[in-house]
């Protein structure tokens, strides 16, 4: 993989710098009231206090790490359930036409319902709290994994399948040495989309009754009029989500290289 040059990295900072400049100018001389958007200085104080907790700048002083760990664990659980079920069903429906005809119409219909539409149903089934949050994350993250895996599995060239069979690969060996490696790029796309969706629906779930988590703090901050802490939580989610995506890409690329090497050795 080609590393980013210094020029590429600089270009990536242009828009954030422009946003900071506009933010700074718009909050000078009370052009925008602090209860609507805090100034960069006020935000920085609250943000660092949210992380380190030595300034008592808000009621959430030093509470970031504990709540972020709780939220990350929820995302991990929901993402795991969505990833496993999405890949299994995606490969099955992608390779077995009969299963695709049976399952795909129903799954596509369920996908058309907005995720927030499942919130009342989840509250009836699981109550308000942890289980409902995991339900929303798993359901929303399932669809991108399923669709991309199905697309990748259905597009494996038939010549690859015939070549694998000629070399003696059958059933599960054929799947792990031919089908899965050929579809893996699509699977990665589905997993990355699902991870982003997981963080989005984490906030929705945590805003509906859990006592701890980044989303719960966002809801509490909104109700108490702390726009600064809402923005701080948004920044924390953005940074953590980007970091999780980076880890996922690194793991998938490492696994993908090993997968291709194993497939070559089998051949």
CA distance readout (Å), 171 to 30, 86, 99, 175, 260 = 69, 20, 17, 6, 18
Rg (CA), the chain: 23
pLDDT digits (tens, 9 = 90+) for 215-224: 889 888 888 8
| pLDDT at residue 94 greater than cutoff 70 | yes
Burial per residue of 137-156, b for 16 or more beta-carbon CB atoms within 10 angstroms, e otherwise: bbbbbbbbbbbbbbbbbbeb
Q: Is the dihedral of CA 40, 44, 45, 50 positive or negative?
A: positive
Q: What pLDDT sits at residue 1? A: 44
Q: Can you tell me the distance from the alpha carbon of 114 to that of 190, in angstroms, rounded to the nearest whole number?
A: 18
Q: Identify whether the C-beta of residue 93 lies closer than 8 Å to the C-beta of residue 104.
A: yes
Q: What pLDDT sits at residue 106? A: 92
Total H helices, total E strands in the chain: 11, 0
Q: Can you tell me the distance from the alpha carbon of 236 to that of 217, in angstroms, rounded to the nearest whole number?
A: 12
| Winning range, highest mean pLDDT, from 6-20, 57-71, 80-94, 109-123 | 80-94
Domains of the chain: residue spans and CATH: 1-62 (no CATH), 63-266 (1.10.3720.10)
- The pTM for the full model equals 0.84
pLDDT digits (tens, 9 = 90+) for 95-115: 999 999 999 999 999 988 887
């Amino acid at each position: 993989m080609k590393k980013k040059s210094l020029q590429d990295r600089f270009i990536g900072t242009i828009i954030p710098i422009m946003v900071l400049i506009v933010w700074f100018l718009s909050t000078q001389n009370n052009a925008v009231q602090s209860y609507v958007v805090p100034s960069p200085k006020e935000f920085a104080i609250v943000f660092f206090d949210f992380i380190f907790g030595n300034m008592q700048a808000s009621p959430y002083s030093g509470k970031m790490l504990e709540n972020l760990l709780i939220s990350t664990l929820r995302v991990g659980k929901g993402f795991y359930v969505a990833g496993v079920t999405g890949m299994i069903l995606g490969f099955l429906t992608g390779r077995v036409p009969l299963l695709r005809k049976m399952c795909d119409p129903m799954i596509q219909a369920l996908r058309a319902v907005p995720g927030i539409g499942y919130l009342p149903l989840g509250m009836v089934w699981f109550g308000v709290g942890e289980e409902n949050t995991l339900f929303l994350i798993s359901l929303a993250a399932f669809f991108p994994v399923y669709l991309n895996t199905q697309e990748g599995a259905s597009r494996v060239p038939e010549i690859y399948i015939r070549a694998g069979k000629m070399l003696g690969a059958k059933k599960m060996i054929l799947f792990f040495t031919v089908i899965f490696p050929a579809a893996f790029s699509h699977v990665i796309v589905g997993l990355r989309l699902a991870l982003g969706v997981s963080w989005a629906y984490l906030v929705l779930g945590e805003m509906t009754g859990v006592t701890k988590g980044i989303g719960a703090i966002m809801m509490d901050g909104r109700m108490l009029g702390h726009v600064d802490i809402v923005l701080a939580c948004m920044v924390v989610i953005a940074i953590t989500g980007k970091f999780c995506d980076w880890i996922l890409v690194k793991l998938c690329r490492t696994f993908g290289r090993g997968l291709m090497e194993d497939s070559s050795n089998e051949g």
